[in-house]
Amino acid sequence: MTVSPTRPGLRLTRRVSDIQVSPTLEVLNRAQALMAKGFDVVDFGPGEPDFPTPPSVSAAGIRAIERGFTKYTNALGTKALRDSIAKRYNTRYGTSLQSEHVIAGNGGKQELFNLMLALVDKGDEVIIPVPYWVSFPDQVQFAGGTPVFARTEASNRFRATLDGIQAVASERTRGVILNSPNNPTGAVITEEELEKIVEWCVSRDVFLIFDETYEFFVYDGNRHASAMRWFERYPETVIVVNSMSKTFAMTGWRLGYAVAHPEIISAIGKIQSHSTSNPSSIAQAAATEALAGDESEVQKMYVAYQERRAWLVPAINAIDGLCCADPDGAFYIFPDVKSWFGKGGIHDSQSFANYLLDEARVAVVPGSAFGADDFVRISYATSMERIREGVKRIEEALRRLDA
């Protein structure tokens, strides 16, 4: 049956009409369509590791299936997994978390979504530093709130600051979302700045959601500062969200988690129990193994990202009209491309990305997806060989444009 989108009577809610699939991801859809037709596209789009899940972790998933661990679990996750998440934090930060502080879900994304539904009411404002990860504003909006954007500066490597947050705060501010290391810029917030923001959130009685999905990937002597350091002092304020996806190359397993005050965990657990229930039992068994096991595979990924970044940043900066700050962490670079605007039909990040796809067969994500239209995101979660090839193609395509 074909259903016309304009059929009278087909009604969608205001809630869903107000959010959108980012139109800028259109470039990536086009890139995939080209690849499906057999074109050789260098894909700098992916937000996921190009490495396989560590074998010991996959083996734990297989064992879970073989021993019949394939039924519903507690909707908030198994006690074994929640205990191992708590233990990992306790070991690193000297906290005394227990399973009641932890919920596991289908990715960090689900826990962020649940948190918005539990904490944001209609009319509430939530402050998000720009550039931001694509889902934050839509999640806030879906919950009935209003995203409010705080400036960061490329000259300060896009690190979030209290000044930027305070400049947009109002009496309707209900919370702040920080993401460090940041997707798309790689920015890593300093411990001093984070402390100031935590104290400010406490003084204003607003929540702080701290998304540390890329915590493991921090370079050049930068140190990851986690809001977990302040969790026990301010359990009503600080909420930490994390994921197995990037650190353990487990994007498809769908396993992420949140650490929060037990009352917040119960609230989001209620939401989860009526939506997805537990994350996959098999993924939970694999994640429990990953958290308990050694991190040698993760370390290998880290070394590879470090090498790629060390080659890529100067190579991009060597191309006329591209300018990229050293990203502190994650596996992205975020070059400024605006000096190409006005040439060859390029007028924004989307048309720049389209040009690269058409003329160089290279896919990048337009910065407009992250609220920063002068930039594009290049992911180096792909092999060194493809990175070299992609950079060569970008350089040639831009040279043609300049000729």
Contact between 157 and ligand PLP per CB under 6 A: no
> Would you say 84 and 292 are in contact if contact means Cβ atoms under 8 Å apart?
yes
> Would you say 309 and 88 are in contact if contact means Cβ atoms under 8 Å apart?
no
Q: Using CB atoms, what's the residue nearest to ligand PLP? A: 107
- Residues belonging to the chain: 403
Contact between 213 and ligand PLP per CB under 6 A: yes
Which one of residues 24, 114, 179, 382 is an interface residue with ligand PLP (CB under 6 A)? 179
CA–chain centroid gap for 286, Å, is: 21
Q: Which residue from 162, 172, 232 is spatially nearest to 201, judged by alpha carbons?
A: 162
Provide the minimum distance between the beta carbon of 139 and ligand PLP in the complex, in angstroms, as a whole number: 10
> Would you say 58 and 286 are in contact if contact means Cβ atoms under 8 Å apart?
yes
Contact between 164 and ligand PLP per CB under 6 A: no
Select 101 or 109, whichever has its Cβ closest to ligand PLP.
Answer: 109
- By CB under 6 A, how many residues form the interface with ligand PLP? 13
Contact between 275 and ligand PLP per CB under 6 A: no
Provide the minimum distance between the beta carbon of 400 and ligand PLP in the complex, in angstroms, as a whole number: 33
Contact between 251 and ligand PLP per CB under 6 A: yes
Select 133 or 231, whichever has its Cβ closest to ligand PLP.
Answer: 133
Q: Which residue from 322, 310, 309 is spatially nearest to 397, judged by alpha carbons?
A: 322
In whole angstroms, give the CA distance from residue 226 to residue 191. Answer: 8
Contact between 133 and ligand PLP per CB under 6 A: yes
For 329, list phi and psi in degrees, rounded to 5: -160, -165
Which one of residues 84, 243, 281, 284 is an interface residue with ligand PLP (CB under 6 A)? 243
Select 187 or 394, whichever has its Cβ closest to ligand PLP.
Answer: 187
Q: Binding mask 27-66 vs ligand PLP (x if CB under 6 A, - otherwise)?
A: --------------------x-------------------
Strand partners, 53: none
Q: Which residues between 368 and 397 bind ligand PLP (CB under 6 A)?
A: none
For 6, list phi and psi in degrees, rounded to 5: -100, 5
Enumerate residues 6+ apart whose C-beta is below 8 A from 288. Answer: 60, 78, 80, 81, 84
Contact between 211 and ligand PLP per CB under 6 A: yes
Provide the minimum distance between the beta carbon of 7 and ligand PLP in the complex, in angstroms, as a whole number: 34
Contact between 139 and ligand PLP per CB under 6 A: no
Can you tell me whether residue 319 is helix, strand or coil?
Answer: coil
Select 131 or 335, whichever has its Cβ closest to ligand PLP.
Answer: 131
| Secondary structure E strands in 69-219 | 102-105, 125-129, 146-150, 173-179, 207-211
Which one of residues 45, 83, 101, 109 is an interface residue with ligand PLP (CB under 6 A)? 109
Which one of residues 45, 61, 107, 186 is an interface residue with ligand PLP (CB under 6 A)? 107
Can you tell me whether residue 313 is helix, strand or coil?
Answer: helix
Strand partners, 127: 148, 176
Residue numbers of the site for ligand PLP (CB under 6 A)? 47, 107-109, 133, 179, 183, 211, 213, 243, 245, 251, 256
